[in-house]
Structure 1
Amino acid sequence: MLRHRWFGSLVNRAVALVIGGILLSALLVTVAGSLLSRAELQQQAQSQVQTIAALVAEELDDKLALRLEALNHVAQSLTMSDQVLKTRARVLVRRQTALQHLFDGIYLVDENGRVVAEHPEAFRQTGLSVRDREYFQRVSSMLTPVISEPYRSNYQNKPAVMIAAPIFDHRQRFIGMIGGAILLEGDNFLKQFIGLRIGETGRLSLATRSGIVVADERDGRIMSPVRVANPVLQDAMGGFEGTLETRAADGERTILSVQQMSQVPWFVAASWPAREALAPITRTLDAFVWTLLGVILLIAPLALWRFSRLMAPLTALGEQIRERHLGMRSEPVSVSGGTEIRQVAEIFNTVMDERDEVLGSLAEREAFFRSLTQSAPIGIVQTDVLGRIEFANPAFEAIIGLPAEELTYSYLSKRVHQADRSQAVAGWKMAIRNQSVFRGRLRLETTDPDQVVWGDVMTAAIQTPEKALGTITVVRDISRELEVEEALRDEQQRAETILGVLQEGVLMADITGVIRYANDAACRFLGTEGECLLRNFFELVSIENEEGPLHRDRFLAGEDLDSLYVTLANRLGQSFAIDLTMLHIRRGREDERLVFVLRDDSDRRRQEERLSWEATHDSLTHLLNRRAFNASLIKCLGETSRQDASSVLMLIDLDHFKPVNDVGGHLVGDDLLKRLAELFRESVRQSDTVARLGGDEFGIILPACGLARAEALAERIRSAVEGLRIEHDGRSFGVTASIGLTELTTEDSGPREVISRADEGSYIAKSRGRNAVVVVSSPPAG
């Protein structure tokens, strides 16, 4: 109550408005400044964190690249026989002074994975086997230098990273490897970089994409799993690189930058707590708040005093107006004070003068109104504020069937049917109270009890500045119109019922594309779920056929369409195969309409696609069949002259497949064929063609592959086929492959010639004992 009384004063409101304006302006300036400053400071902090992370990642890459290159250079200089390598191992390791400065430990390992020499010898690793170590398996299989994942070394179980390079003899045969170990807990370049600080509490860490911490400023984190609760670090293990604001494990907001390394699948993570990075903003806001509080304490009393002086004339004016209204004052109110107060006083004096003139002319206007309504073709009734009829014109008398003498001073509500009376009375009262217009369709009582007259009724209040004088009601007989509307609704309902149960979509649009009617099936095609009306058909969907997109102008200018096969796509991403029919109605006129009938044609097209797929694929392995394979080979032969590298045909003939069928049964044989088909698909590129040519024979087309790469691929496939085994009823079943390779040349006259050469290679492979790859050279150019 006290708050309402205080705000009842304009002076207090004005003071509150001034203080509120100051607060709002200050708030807007503070928020805008804070946001801009925070954004700028955050951008600088992110740039700083990103720069540090990038520099560290680049420097670590350089350090690892230096060690990898040095180790590979030493490995290349150790070209000798395996016996000499083992005999001179210790001498060779002791001579590698440069490597001793780069690594915590140096190891020479033979081809069987056994350490034959080391430095320093205090590590006591000589004679131990590292055959199961990941780095040895990668070096011996890939025959290239590698940087290992972090692992627990045999030396006191300390975490380490191994950089290893293969050693070859004079015949390029793998005879061992030389490796350099970097202890993750040692005093080396990793510890130097990770020890860098960002601000006071920012830190750096190094981890692998497989989720292992390589180095971290905090103790005890090496070789522990990465905390994947942080989504940015989880994305970093998938290859993400960038700078974001995220939350640390303890919930604190942190600026985190991730930089991927190029030498190894590792990443550097640099983090800086946001509270430290954005601390200057907090201090600025505190100072601003105290300054604003001081300004308000100074402005509030000054504004209260000034507004009290300005509003004093308004109080005097209000007292004079009250006296004039009560009749205690006959002369006009005095004009004083500010411009606005003087204007209010002048307007009040003018209104009072005009009121006297209005009352004088009211009687004249009423007489004019009565003469005007006498000849009106619609019923007009005037009532007082209680709803009693004061005047009714002849048209209203004809509608009700009673003369004016019987209608005068009777209640207008009595002329409304009992069922609609309460609605009418409530509407008339609201029209008087709100100075609005009431409109409704009401049943009227006439002298004939068997006749029902429907009237379109509109009632408005008759008002003066002081009070309501009554109402004016206009009544139009619409009984015949309602009968026609009912008949039209029945016809429309029947039509909509028929269209609603149709599976085909039916819609009608004007020439601009605005939908005037659509059944449920059409709305489903448009993706609007029943909200089609008054939306633009050509904006909701795109339609195209074999010739390309079909636009609005094509439908307007073209003839009627019958069974046009098109594809319709809506904004929900749904696509439908449609049999489209389109008709023009009232063509060329302003009210022209387009009627579209949309029939779902998906089943027929899916059937065609299924038949097409079955005609070109093997039903068991789902690979291409011989027919489709020949077509692909012909196409590849036609492109041979335009390719930089030669295309290669590979024919695979399985060895010992018949015993699998005879012993294990055809189900085992079919299972083996399906697994081999999957193996072939996974072994080649997406652009290569894999087919089953019949029985246990397969073909692969390798466009622009080159014979050397194709031969290496064939060896991998042969080895993979040899290693594939199926267990059934306690027995193991498998096959090998005899593979023939040949290049496609411009001299080849057709696919038969190329297939014959590759087939010859597979026969040669079988004659040599099977399980082999044979390359058949193409004949020299004539």
Structure 2
Amino acid sequence: MSVELLSSPDRPQNRLLSALILGAIAFALTLFCLELIVFSGRISPLWFATSLMTVVVFRTPSRHAPLLLLACAAGTALANGLILGPNPANLLFTLINLLQGIVGGVLLRALLKRHAPLNSLLDWLRFMLSVGLLTPLLGGLLALWVLNISGSGRFSFLSTWVISEVIGMLALGPVLLLMPWPLRTSALSLRRLAEFLFTLLLTLGATWLALRFMPWPFTCIVVILFWCAVRLPKRDAFLLFLLNACAVSLMLALGLVTVETRNNAPGQIANWVPFLLVLIPSHVMALVMDAFRREKHHISESETRFRHAMEYSAIGMALVSPEGVWLQVNNSLCQTLGFPAAELRKLTFQQITHPDDLENDLQHADKLLRGDVDAYTIEKRYFRKSGDIVWARLTVSLVRDAARHPLYFIAQIIDISALKQSEQTNRRLMERITLANDALFQEKERMAITLDSIGEAVISTDSEMRVTFMNPVAEKMSGRREQEAAGQPLSALLQISHGRHGTPVENLLLRRLPVEKTTPDLDDELVLHAADGTVVEIHYSITPLRTLEGEEIGAVMVIQDVSESRKMMKRLSYSALHDTLTRLPNRASFERQLQRLLSDAVERQHQHVLAFIDLDKFKAVNDTAGHAAGDALLRELAELMQHALRGSDFLARLGGDEFALLMPECPLAQGREVVQRIVAAVNGYAFSWQGAVFQVGASAGLTQISADNNIGAEVLSQADIACYNAKKAGRGRLAVYAPPAR
């Protein structure tokens, strides 16, 4: 079941029904406010009719608004006539309310989002200034002019109008803005409704007790509503604030409680100020708690995504303490090692590492802890729970805290037992094909069948390095069939280069029979170009074939497709040396480049420039617009700064709002020009975020790297001191380090 009021019904009968319902609501709200005046004998501190009209303009499509506004105005005028009697002034009041609602609704359309009108304190401040202050003041001034009120009563009338409109808008406006349209009773939860009613009764009772017995009763009411803002969701909290405001007004009007009042005009206004002091802090607290809940939900989602990415990874992953204790493991790792997760977390990696591999692993881990390397990859053996040995390719990186203290290792473990077994099988096969005996033909057949089924490309040659055999994987990689390649030189069959577009590999190894097993370095990044134009990233080995008497009869070349493993290594290497937010090099990459320039300054007598760049007023963006805005600003400024660099310059993000710039082979004067362009560009950059514009700046410090100034800690300190001097001199400028006078 649903009730459509401010939605967009297409049928005329639906629009008419919505208009009748809104007219009835306007009548009821106006009647409630006027009855407070009748019972109390004083002007009511609440006026709801304008709030309803304002929200109707804000939420209703423009083509439907006139009918709904007319219904609201009719309901308001009817209530005025019923209570105050037929008077032309009452109709003028209704028309002023209508005009005020139209202006307020148009302002809200320009300032707020329809799908999320009160999503932050900034939205609430726009709401407060526009329809909580500006339009009530305009309406009051218009009423003074239309009714021609003069003399001492002008201030009293204007202040009464403005205060009652402000309180009415603050009480009812947020509820109407946050209420979903259409209203669906099926979405209501009995448990949530019961909790809301319980909290409402509790707060109404506490409010009555505060008004009747407590000193400074409105202060006590603020505390009560703060508790509600903490306990309830934002929408429920605003509804409860409205009901409490109505209840307090009703208690005062019916004389159920009494509060000290003043009879003069300023005194009456002062009597209504506590309503504002109750509503404004409560609104702020409700929005702060809503932002806190959304941030908590976002953090929970991020943790869940990380946990799922680790838990459901196809390879083994684990978090390991610096002491070697398994902190967290995924299912793939448990299956690889044969241990349940709970049992594995009671062990250290040292306990299940093969003794022959433990020392090598510990040495690499120690280098990682010292900061000598950012990550390492080794092959090692683990003991399964059953006692069996499993071969694994282990890749380890280290996570540190803000103080650079090690927190935990991230270990990625891939089971390569099958690969090791395949290598052993290949080795045995290579030994068997060297046997020149009466069973040579049978052995060759068996070898061919086996080689056809493995995943590596295998090519056999004679003593002249001409192709004699290729398995199907080799045919696929080279793009040539075995019949076509038979008898051709191996160097003519395989086109290998350093990288996809790099220089061709020297084919001397492919032309001459090797003396022993030959394998190129993994860092060569070799690529095989097939005859059909496809390319495959490879790693290969060439092993000579000898008879039992030692006679060389040929060679065997084994080619492995390492495309996926290289992609993984490149991703890991890139992540370790780059900042994930700005895509700039990170601190570790910067330190490497700095060491290279320091060495170059000594060995080649070159001069370089080091600069620290620190953003000014960046914290204000984070505090005002949130960390999402700060992140977006960092990305934009990083791109902006790169446009001012030379081709050889090296810009890195050290962390937070700190950047560092290395300018190789650069005189200090030229470096100063480059940094001045960066500082000027940042100072002049206007950052827009959700309708707001922020202006930040940059302070920079420079120092010269030379043969006389080539100690890393000293040049970093010099640049930092110069940057500090730039900030101290007024920010938004640069300073060059000058050694202290002796």
TM-score band w.r.t. shorter chain: 0.3 to 0.5
- Structure (1 or 2) with the greater helix fraction: 2
TM-score (norm 2): 0.35
Structure of greater Rg: 1
TM-score by length of 1: 0.34
